[in-house]
Amino acid sequence: MVVALRGIMFQSITEYSNRIKQCLVGITFLCFIVFGLLVSASASGQTDEINQWIAALKDPDWQVRVSAAKALGDTKDPRAVEPLIVALKGTEFHVQEGAAEALGKIGAPAVESLILSLKDPDSLAPGAIFPSRFQSRVVGALERIGAPAVDALITALKDPDWQVRWGAAVALGGIKDTRAVEYLITTLKDPNSRVVRGAVGALGAIKDPRAVDPLIEKLKEYLYVDVRRSAACTLGEFKDPRAVEPLIAALRDDGRVRNCAAWALLNDPVEADVLVRALRERNLDVIVKAYPLFIMKGEPGSEDALIQALNSRGSVEMATAFLNSGNAKLKEAAQQWAAAHGYHSTTLFGHWGENASWGSKK
């Protein structure tokens, strides 16, 4: 009897334990279902929120659009990229800035679409300003993304569309990553002058010494004045001794190039000291090369050295510059030089230094 009771008790406990196990399995399964529903609801809620912010980018109130752009940037959700790029095309400055900042926060997922959006047909319309405000904002967004955008931008330097190549060059300059230097140097050979100017500016922003010699070549040889002007201004950023002679030579270029070359020389203390010493020591070789800069500096008492250089090694261009410098002493010397060389002052001609004004770069 005792043995039978024990068997019954053991059987009851075993059955009870099995039922508990079944219950626990059921509860666990139910928990998984509930958790899945909660995750799904959360994702659905986030999707609804993102869609609401995307819709808010079209709100009539620009402040609402700015808030929407900021919120989308904070989500870092790739689905916001295209709507934010559309917002960049708007006319409200604050919305454009907000969209550019948001795309910068989203980062790498936005890079490809931003690069493609540089192909802006509006900037090619007759009378349109290039770059358009939209393209400038796209470049700004790429700059905000920074290092994650560099590889794609380097690839874009070879894009068939020159607008893309221009934007890639400018953005790389804004990011200032030295990985881009060799590729930007290669881009200096681009057939489009705007792309070349973008690469020149980018190299000036990065300030890697590898760029100095290629920039000097652009200053000496390039067909378009705007590229030579950009090269002169950019070389001034490097303060590299290799640029001194080419910049002095550029003082006899077109007025826009000359002004940049003068700025570059005057803003480098070492180069400026070399020029001042040449004037003081009556180094006629340097004075003849750099006379437009000395005219623009307009140092009191420097006229005698300049006149000596004109009489010793002068040219029609130099005399023309003196004649039109606004300095009475130099004008008189130019008239005397003209008479001595068979010219009349009204027939003197030249196109290199004639617009240099006395004291204009003090």
Residue 97 lies in a domain: no
pTM of the model: 0.73
Residue 78 lies in a domain: no
Domain that residue 307 falls in: 271-362
Residue 328 lies in a domain: yes
Residue with tokens 């003197």: 348
Residue 307 lies in a domain: yes
Residue 280 lies in a domain: yes
Check if the beta carbon of residue 81 is closer than 8 Å to that of residue 113.
yes
Residue 334 lies in a domain: yes
User: Per-residue confidence of the chain (362 residues) as pLDDT tens digits?
Assistant: 444 444 444 455 555 555 555 555 455 544 444 444 343 434 445 678 889 999 999 999 999 999 999 999 999 999 999 999 999 888 899 999 999 999 999 999 999 999 999 998 877 767 777 888 889 999 999 999 999 999 999 999 999 999 999 999 999 999 999 999 999 999 999 999 999 999 999 999 999 999 999 999 999 987 889 999 999 999 988 989 899 889 988 887 887 898 888 888 877 777 777 788 888 899 998 888 888 888 988 989 999 999 999 999 888 889 999 999 999 999 999 999 999 988 876 544 444 444 678 988 76
User: DSSP labels for 163-175?
Assistant: HHHHHHHHHHHHH
Residue 323 lies in a domain: yes
Burial of 48 (0-12, 13-18, 19+ CB in 10 A): exposed
Residue 288 lies in a domain: yes
Q: Report which DSSP code applies to 230.
A: H
How many domains does the chain fold into? 1
